[in-house]
Amino acid sequence: MITDKFGRPMHDLRISVTDRCNFRCRYCMPKEIFGRDFAFMPKEQLLSFEEIERLARIFISQGVKKIRLTGGEPLLRKDLHLLINRLVHIDGLEDIGLTTNGVLLEKQAQKLKDAGLKRVNVSLDALKDEIFKSINDSGVSTKHILKAIHKAKEIGLEVKVNMVVKKGMNEQEVIPMARYFKEHEIPLRYIEFMDVGETNGWDMKKVVTKKEIFHTLLNHFELEPIDPSYIGEVAKRYRYKGTKAEVGFITSVSESFCSTCTRARLSADGKIFTCLFASGGFDMKQMLRSGKSDEEILEVIQKIWGNRTDRYSDERTVQTAKNRKKIEMSYIGG
């Protein structure tokens, strides 16, 4: 196991399998920037499944226990279940999950489960159709996503729902979302609107903090805290008193968790990023395709992580959020 300069080990690997998405979401891919003519990566620039598996084995040799497949929208990657089946057979991997907007989930859920997928995080920012459609800008209804969520749960996948809360857009959906997913005992994660990338129009005035959401919930529910289930767990979790249902908060803006971050990120074109808010990555694809050995690649990964000093959320100011160049969410994944 390797640690960075602050003693943080590498435990969790996020792998983006594509930079494409079937939403033009206001948070990640606003249509003003990512229009229908936007040039996404050609297939040959993407890591192949064989290349992803090879890198995953190297990362796992250094202590990675969890992998999450992201995007873009990962379910747009053809035959994704075949990659999952490759990854689950790597000795040392304990958990594999997927983050998705849910559009293609119902159709693929059983195939993904059969391949070895354990859990899915589904992004859903509102129950009210009018609000949801205004956010995803694709005409997809909440009924379609909810049907996929229930299908995934029904076949035995662990399901969580992620809701990004943005002031002036969907904060009125906080309670309806809580009620719905409490009733169905599906964990809901409220995520503070973050300054990821350059295109989402982030402004601190648009952030609804964990404290604000928590107090809104307390007007309707009794909540009791849940202890973290592992070191480096990002969500601050609570249980609705007297039930098994839980709710959590991702607080990158108001209550940073840099000190316990154990996540490395691999982009769809093979770059390693040591922070969600990174300005640049380290190219592994070139090493893979130029004939470097696993030992040579491992040495580079060890140096990258060993020299890691990322503390962006600890150091964030309104000025740094505006002036620092950051990688887009659709490219690096969540």
Any idea which residue has 């997809």 for tokens?
Answer: 140
Tell me whether residue 325 is annotated as binding. Answer: no
Tell me whether residue 163 is annotated as binding. Answer: no
Tell me whether residue 239 is annotated as binding. Answer: no
DSSP 31-87: TTTS-TT--PPPGGGSPPHHHHHHHHHHHHHTT--EEEEESS-GGGSTTHHHHHHHH
Pairing verdict, β 223-225 and 12-16: unpaired
Tell me whether residue 261 is annotated as binding. Answer: yes
Tell me whether residue 123 is annotated as binding. Answer: yes
Tell me whether residue 281 is annotated as binding. Answer: no
Tell me whether residue 119 is annotated as binding. Answer: no
Distance CA 259, CA 7 (A): 9
Any idea which residue has 């005409």 for tokens?
Answer: 139
Tell me whether residue 118 is annotated as binding. Answer: no
Tell me whether residue 29 is annotated as binding. Answer: no
Tell me whether residue 311 is annotated as binding. Answer: no
Q: What is the largest CA-CA distance in the chain?
A: 60
Tell me whether residue 278 is annotated as binding. Answer: no
Tell me whether residue 57 is annotated as binding. Answer: no
Read off the DSSP letter of residue 248: E
Tell me whether residue 235 is annotated as binding. Answer: no
Alpha helix positions (H), 101-172: 105-115, 129-136, 142-154
Q: Which residues are annotated as a binding site for [4Fe-4S] cluster?
A: 21, 25, 28, 258, 261, 275
Q: Which residues are annotated as a binding site?
A: 14, 21, 25, 27-28, 68, 72, 99, 123, 160, 194, 258, 261, 263-265, 275
Q: Which residues are annotated as a binding site for GTP?
A: 14, 68, 99, 160, 263-265
